[in-house]
Amino acid sequence: MEDEGNGTAINNSYAIWINPILYQSSKEKEFNFILLSLDTLRPDHLSCYGYNRRTSPNLDKLAEDSVLFENTFSTTYWTLPAHVSMITSLNTPHHRVINSRQRIPGSSLPLADILRGENFLCTTFTGGGFLSTKYGFSKGFDSYQKLRKKGRDDSFRFSEAESLKENISE
């Protein structure tokens, strides 16, 4: 905590994701780990981040019993390299995925491999796009499930989140 000079304290703590290590206080206490990534979602329009309208009741409920990071920063401005960084703990210059013709290097150790080494069952549900197997995102997962789009092309649809929820529920 730092003092701004007017008696107001500022919290200068940040979440930094480097070489992820899982800590568990007791071998007998089991827990679940869910990484929820909602690409291009604005936190300033979510109730759990202080938005005055009730726009996200289900996320709000999840946030009540979860860790909610308030100061987070992306390594880059677009989906593919940002998510590669998120699951490998490598900055863009280290994983070198900078355009859509590249994929996650086979030598990288993704978070799913680390979690599986700690006896977690790793499953992903995705709408595809830049998070598809084409880019190597299935590496390390026990199950990788892409949204089943019934008779539609691969372009984004407004109802995609609802369809993904149905897939996960099944």
Q: Tell me the per-residue pLDDT of 73-93, one tens digit each, with 9 for 90 and over.
A: 889 999 999 999 999 999 999
Query: How far apart are alpha carbons 5 and 167 in whole angstroms?
Result: 53
Q: Tell me the per-residue pLDDT of 115-130, one tens digit each, with 9 for 90 and over.
A: 999 889 998 888 778 8
Element (H, E) at 82: helix 79-88
Q: What does the domain layout of the chain look like in residue ranges? A: 42-72, 75-148+155-170
pLDDT at 111: 92
CA distances (Å), 34 to each of 104, 124, 153, in order? 21, 10, 29
